[in-house]
Structure formats: C-alpha cells, structure tokens
Structure 1
Amino acid sequence: MTGWMTPALADVLAHRIRHDVQGMHAYAVQDAAGMIKLDAMENPYTLPPGLQVALGERLGRVAINRYPGPRVDDLRQALAHHVDLPPGCALMLGNGSDELISLLAMACDVPGASILAPVPGFVMYAMSAQLQGLAFHGVPLTADFQLDEPAMLAALQLHRPAITYLAYPNNPTANLWDAAVVRRLIAAAAEVGGLVVIDEAYQPFASRTWLDEMRAEPQAHAHVLLMRTLSKFGLAGVRIGYLIGAQALVHEIDKVRPPYNVSALNAECALFALEHADVFAAQAADIRAERDRLIAALAELPGVQPFPSEANMVLVRVPDADRLFAALKAAGVLVKNVSKMHPLLARCLRLTVGTPAENAQMLHALRQAL
C-alpha cells in the first residue's frame, strides 16, 4: 500500500476495520477480457436482436428519476405466477441470491447462532456467516460428492444451526442430492428449531425441483425456504434473486431487506424476460443438450473424468488442474480452477456449458493441452 497511507488512515485500518475482515479475501472475479468465458455458469446466449430493441425501448421509458415503485410489486406477482407459488407461501425479492444469503444471516443472528452446509459448496454461505459474526460449520461430502447423512445429522444435533443450506443442485459438484436424505435432514433441522434453505440457483437445468415437495407436504416444510435466481435463467447482469417460504417466515425476514433493493431498471428487465420466458426456456433446453454432448466428449479424453451434472456446469478431474487451467487460459478459454477449494476437489476444474462453438474451442484447447 503506497501513496495514500497517512497516520489517520493507518489508525482507521488498525482500529476501525474488523481484523477478521482485513484477513479475508474478497470474492474473486477473473478478468475475462477477450476470452471465451466459461468460468461463472452464465447463460452464453444473448437476447435475439428484435427483443434487444424492444427491451431498449421499454427501459427508455422507465422513470429512473423516481425510486422503484409498483413495478417491483408487479415483478413479485409475476414471479409468483411463473413458479406457481404454493398456497400459504410468500415471495421476497433480493438483489441476486447473494443479498438474500446475507439478509438471512442478519435475520437469524441471535446469540449462539450458526450456519451449516455441506462442503464443498457455494462460498457465500460461509462468507455471509463470517461477515455477520456467525460460526460456520462445513460438513464434507462423501468421496462421490453425496451428502454424508450420518455426519450431517450429527452436526445438526451438535451445533443446532439457525440455517442449514442445501444447494439443489450443488455448486461446484453440479449434482442433486438423494431426495430421501434431504427429507430426513429437513425433519432433523425441525427438531433443533432451525431453518433449511434449499438453494435452486441452477433449477433451469435440473431434472426436478424441491418446490414440488414443498407443495405436496406444506406442513413438513414450514421451516424451509427455497431460493432461486434469475442469473442462470439468463439475466446474470440484472441481479434478481427470490426467496419462497411460509408467509409468516418470509414476513419476518423481509423486515431486514433494504428499501428499494431492486432497481426499477432491473425489475423492468426481469418482467420483460418473464413475458418472453419461452425464449429462455428454449435456451435452457439447448444448454442441457449441449451439456450432455460435452460430458460425452470429455469422457473420451485421456485422464479426464467428468462427473454427472444437473446444472449448466461440468466438474472434471484432470491429471494436472493448475497446468491445464493455465494452458486453457493461454488458448483464450477461461474456466474455473477449483482444485484447491477443498481436498475432495483435488485436480478438478469446473467448466461452464457454453455454446456449441465455445465448447468445441474449449475441447480443442483441452486436447492440445493434454
């Protein structure tokens, strides 16, 4: 640190910024300029030109001189219709799922509260706990990336967490958990008075949704929240997440939501997208089909082990993750090196499913590197 460091600033850093925050690493976003971007599980398809024009004209009419108003309520209602909101449930909006995760930690920050999740998993679960001053308990998955049910049940009894996160499908392993195991964990969380959050960020690419379970057994899920995002739907740049759960529960959590957390422009973009949901559904179908082709092609490469996927990403174990990551980057293809995220991910890369052309270039670069 040079240039702007003064005694006053040094004093602020030493005494006013939390020491644990100073010891943290910020969420890393890789520089993707000029590269095929296959590192962040984004939908690779843009809006068709005609819809781009229509959206631009519509956004030009938004009253950006005013705070967001009724259109945000319109979006909440449109999403409720889109998901066929179960009776007795409410829906809360967030500035992406990340904000919802932070708000949940804030709302549940009672003395002794903690957060529990299987690991490896989405890093924001642990980060939100740390930033809110809560303990985080990670329970390792089995060697084949399944929930370790005995270990999860033991952790629930020992720690009695305020929140248990179950990503469905999981990131970065891309698999869905065994439904019977999830049901038993939900029941065990109820016994210790904790919430369960089912994170369905990758739902457009999965073969099933836990919302069906919530609809079929509402009483067993009174302490369960289901979280989704429009990022994987195709609106990563718009930042819209939403939370579904029992009305009484969502009502309390909504009290910690900042006013106007969803911008008028973002709300209008999301409403426009929901009006053209068939376009995004077709894109998701293309991505699912391309995912299957990609897994088959990866399985034919020497020393490469792709794992099953229910998301728009594929986890692969390779002979040397660091070397192959660097080789792909040198070839203009950016993926995610997760090999050091957790011991279970040793030698693993995470590949976003791109367009057919992008995937072909990635496979070509991978073959050359191997």
Structure 2
Amino acid sequence: MNASLDTCMTRTIRSDIQGMHAYAVQPSAGMVKLDTMENPYRLPEHLQQALGERLGRIAINRYPAERTDDLRAALATHAGLPEGCALTLGNGSDELITMLSMACDLPGAAIMAPLPSFVMYGMSAALQGIRFIGVPLTADFELDEPAMLAAIETEKPTLLYLAYPNNPSANLWDDAVIDRLIEAVGRIDGLVVIDEAYQPFAARDSMNRLQRYPNVLVMRTMSKFGLAGVRIGYLMGRAPLIGQIDKLRPPFNISVLNAEAGLFALEHVDEYARQAAAIRSERERLLRELAELPGVHPFPSQANMILVRVPDSAAAFAGMKERGVLVKNLGRMHPLLVNCLRLTIGTPDENVQMMDALRASL
C-alpha cells in the first residue's frame, strides 16, 4: 500500500520547516510597483540593443567558466577592493547569506542581527538550524549600543550582521558604534558582515573596514545598482577568509548571461550613476513632501526607500493598492514598525502617483 503524501512529508520534511512561512512576493501586474526597492529605470534604448546583441553571441551551450572570473575582477576594481582581500560571487545576496550560514554551522553557533532588519538573516539561520539572536533597535531605529554589547558578551555570536543602510529603516548607523561592535565581536573571534545592498544611494560605505578589521566582510549586490533581475551578489574580505567561504559556492552559480549582463553594466557605470543620482534627488523631494502631510512621519533615509509611519498602515496600504500603487505594509513585521509603510523611490511620474494615492488613502 502506498504511503499518503502527508505521512511522507511528516517523515521526510523537518517539522520546523513545515511550520515556517515562505518568503512572500506580492503580485504586481498592472500596478505602480514600489514595494521591493528596485531601480525604476531601464537602460536607454541604444544600450538595450547593444546588450541584446552581446547576449545573443554568448555560447549558452557551455557552462560558465572564465567569464565569471572576469566579472569578479571587474567588481573588485569597481568596489576598490584593498590589497590582501578577495571577492566571491553569489546568486544575489540571498545565496551569500546561505553560504555564510553553512560556513558558520558549528556546534553552539549563533547568528545575531539588530531588529528590524533584513528578514533573510534570521530565515537563513533557521533553515540551517542555527540559533538566531535579534537585538531590538531603539525607537528611532538606531543601534542600541548597550544592548548589543551585552548580547555579544552573553551570547557570543559566531556572526553579526549589520545592514548599512538598514532595511527597512533606510538609515546609516553611527560609525563609532559600529566600530565598537566590530571590536567586541573580534574579542570573541567572531565575524561581522556589513551588508551594503543600498550603497549606491548612501553617503558612506565600509570598504576601509576591510583593511582595519580582519574579521569584517562587506556584502554588496548589483540588484539595487539596477540589475535586480540579473541576481548578482558579491562578498568581500581578507583573502584567506573568502577562500574558505568560496568553497561553499555552488559550481557555475552565476550564469553566462548574468555574468555578461553584469560586465556590460560595469562598462556603463556612468549611466547607472546617473540613475542613482536621480533616485537620490527624488528621495530628498519625497522626504520634504511626506513631512508636510498631517499624521505622517518619514524617517531619515540613505537608501532608495523611505520608511514612514502613518495613522493606520493597513488602511493606507489597502487604499493605495486600490488606486494602483503597490508599497510594503510593515505594520505587523515588528513592534517597532507598527503603522509603518516602506515606500520605494520610483521615477518622478511614479512618485507623483504614489503621493497622490497616499494622500487619498490617509
């Protein structure tokens, strides 16, 4: 007699996984899509044509090989990778986070991050069966230094994630506080990963910390740069450390099409820099307009998104969606995010539609 599917899953699938929720992506067809921090700009038509012709010449019948090495070298140059450091590639930052969880999965290991922050830090730890420690931020989304230092001393995390700027709060944290946290983790021989997914929109970065601290890794992605559909993440750190993490990278994890698209983008970095400047300009305009709305509190942003607190985030989200604008309702994600929406910065026209929809939905 054949076993039932329920019985089969009970025997073969971990119970904690059966109790988890999958990462949710909102349907967005026909909407002004401002919920996932994408760059809203496409390439100019002449560059679209040039990229299409270039991709058409690729030998897609072959596995990726040297072209991935070319991409790694181009990214190292673009980022200004210091001497003695190396870089490994991931299929987006998500795969790099998975690789880090696998690498750090020692008996008694723990992964720590301030909360709220990127959900994949905790999810990846849970999927790997590693204890996750979340330390709440302050009410204005700053690092709670005393609480973080106490947790580092007590819990002795194997790895600490610091998103810089943070997601979803979009702010840059105090550099002196970050350095003291890095030094505290260093005293217990742990690693610190500084996640710079939103670096193109921020006033500061952490590349100098790669030279100052041997236990620091800097993680970036080309998604916010303008290639969210291409899925390229990269992790930088001291060469011996990257060499160990690179062993966990699946073979051929970056396709030849993705590698070529990434190289093409880096050859036209001026176009992407122009797009980032336009997004930063729109961000500042939106911050001013949001501050003038009664009952709306926008938080400072150094990313391509703005966190806002409104009187009723569920009602505002629903009202905006009815008017064809999709944003992210974070009201139930964490106690600090009650009645908060996350607004991605779009094109000027999209931002006008977003503001009109928000005003009408308050």
SS where residue 4 of structure 2 aligns?
helix
Counterpart of 2:273? 281
SS where residue 152 of structure 2 aligns?
helix
Counterpart of 2:79? 83
Q: Deviations over 1:247-303 (max 9, x none)?
A: 010000111111001111000000000000000000000000000001101111110
Residue 70 (structure 1) aligned with residue 70 (structure 2) = no
Q: Deviations over 1:302-352 (max 9, x none)?
A: 100001000000000000000000000000000000111100011100000
SS where residue 303 of structure 2 aligns?
coil
Query: How many angstroms does 1:7 deviate by?
Result: 3.5
Q: Distance in 1 between matches of 2:8 and 2:56?
A: 43
Q: Distance in 1 between matches of 2:80 and 2:287?
A: 32
Residue identity opposite 1:93 in structure 2 = L
Residue identity opposite 2:100 in structure 1 = L
SS where residue 24 of structure 1 aligns?
coil
Q: Deviations over 1:118-176 (max 9, x none)?
A: 00000000000000000000000011110000110111111111110000000000000
Query: How many angstroms does 1:212 deviate by?
Result: 2.9
Aligned match of 1:342 in 329, 334, 344? 334
Counterpart of 1:33? 29
Residue 148 (structure 1) aligned with residue 123 (structure 2) = no
The runs of at least 4 consecutive aligned structure 1 residues that moved more than 6 Å come to none
Counterpart of 1:3? none
Q: Distance in 1 between matches of 2:117 and 2:53?
A: 40
Counterpart of 2:264? 272
Counterpart of 1:249? 241
Counterpart of 1:228? 220
Aligned pairs (5 A) from 1:138-287: 138-214=134-210, 218=211, 220-287=212-279
Q: Deviations over 1:59-89 (max 9, x none)?
A: 0011110000100000000001111110100
Q: Distance in 2 between matches of 1:204 and 1:212?
A: 16
Q: Distance in 2 between matches of 1:213 and 1:257?
A: 24
Q: Distance in 1 between matches of 2:270 and 2:254?
A: 24
Q: Deviations over 1:206-259 (max 9, x none)?
A: 000011333xxx2x4100000000000000000000000000100001111110
Query: How many angstroms does 1:368 deviate by?
Result: 1.2
Query: How many angstroms does 1:11 deviate by?
Result: 2.0
Q: Distance in 2 between matches of 1:125 and 1:162?
A: 13
Query: How many angstroms does 1:93 deviate by?
Result: 0.5
Residue identity opposite 1:225 in structure 2 = L
Is contact 2:93–2:234 with CA below 8 Å preserved after alignment? Answer: yes
SS where residue 247 of structure 2 aligns?
helix
Q: Cα RMSD over matched residues? A: 0.8
Aligned pairs (5 A) from 1:19-58: 19-58=15-54
Query: How many angstroms does 1:98 deviate by?
Result: 0.3
Counterpart of 2:306? 314
Residue 137 (structure 1) aligned with residue 136 (structure 2) = no
Is contact 2:209–2:216 with CA below 8 Å preserved after alignment? Answer: no
Residue identity opposite 1:323 in structure 2 = A
Q: Distance in 2 between matches of 1:320 and 1:188?
A: 40
Residue identity opposite 2:179 in structure 1 = R
Moved more, 154-163 or 309-318: 154-163
TM-score (norm 1): 0.97
Q: Which runs of 5+ in 2 are unaligned?
A: none
